[in-house]
Structure 1
């Protein structure tokens, strides 16, 4: 591992007593091995690490054939300024039957999570398990944090289909 050189033999004249200076030499071979082991370990652990990303379903840009979505299978969530959350059932595109907009919050009890769970349970009873479609509409005053919080709620509640769509002027009026 390490060796100490004690110096050579004294040749020639003797001029007095001198202190012997000893030099040390450290063998770095085990440190190189340790470095390669650490590099290998970190390379393997980063490749095994799962990426935690959120999948986002965006509507198709097909103007000729718009997507048809039943009101009984959909929930629209409106995000406004100052952490305001409103929602209504359906997609709200029928002017003869305007949606009934209700306010909610991000609270754990009686908040938007309970609304999503209730709607999901009703959709499962009437249709299939993953038929619920949640439309998330944020106005220009909504914070990015609120959009991420709603998307987190989709993951927590195992909502398979949701989309962030542009807010309509009618929906903006509901937020005021």
Structure 2
């Protein structure tokens, strides 16, 4: 490369200092950053998944629990993320028990959650029976169990869909 000759300083004047360009080598800084990043990635604890505790009873076919009709609420899960519910018990063999009225709803915040909260205000300790229709999805069951947890329901059970409950469902849901 060619060098530029600087003229000699004139007499009586102070010689000017040459300005050197500053060059910072970033290679060690990048190495240090990657070492620190690797260290913290390997030593950190990742968030553990939170799961809802579900206590299942011991399978005993002789063990049945009677539910008071005034405390009962039945939720039936249908196709297409639809939810149906009624209050009381469906007992078609008992003529003194009226046929329950089936109400449709969904999983929106104004859906089954509001129904469960209203039932909890009406009846201090409701028993919620959850039945799945033949075309219900697994995600619907997870969603309704989440709603039980959100609304702080203490007593609920997963029960099979009875023939009497199946007759209450609309024709497309059976």
Q: TM-score, normalised by structure 2?
A: 0.64
Out of 35, 38, 51, which is 1:35 matched to?
38
The 1-side partners of 2:55 and 2:72 are apart by 14
Residues 65-104 of structure 1 mapped to structure 2, 5 A cutoff: 65-93=63-91, 95-96=93-94, 97-104=97-104
Name the structure with the higher strand share. 1
Rg larger for? 2
- SS state at 1:78 partner: strand
Contact 1:86 1:101 in 2 (8 A): no
Contact 1:56 1:163 in 2 (8 A): no
Out of 47, 52, 69, which is 1:54 matched to?
52
Q: How far has the Cα of 1:101 moved from its partner?
A: 2.7
Out of 143, 149, 158, which is 1:149 matched to?
143
Unaligned runs of 5+ in 1: 1-25, 125-130
Question: Relative to structure 1, is the Cα distance of residues 98 and 80 closer, same or farther in structure 2, using a 3 angstrom cutoff?
Answer: farther
- SS state at 2:85 partner: strand
Unaligned runs of 5+ in 2: 1-27
Listed one character per residue, the Cα deviations across residues 121-168 of structure 1 (whole Å, up to 9, x for unaligned) are 1222xxxxxx32211101111122322222222122111232222111
How many residues in Structure 1 have an aligned counterpart in Structure 2? 140
Contact 2:131 2:159 in 1 (8 A): yes
The 2-side partners of 1:147 and 1:119 are apart by 20
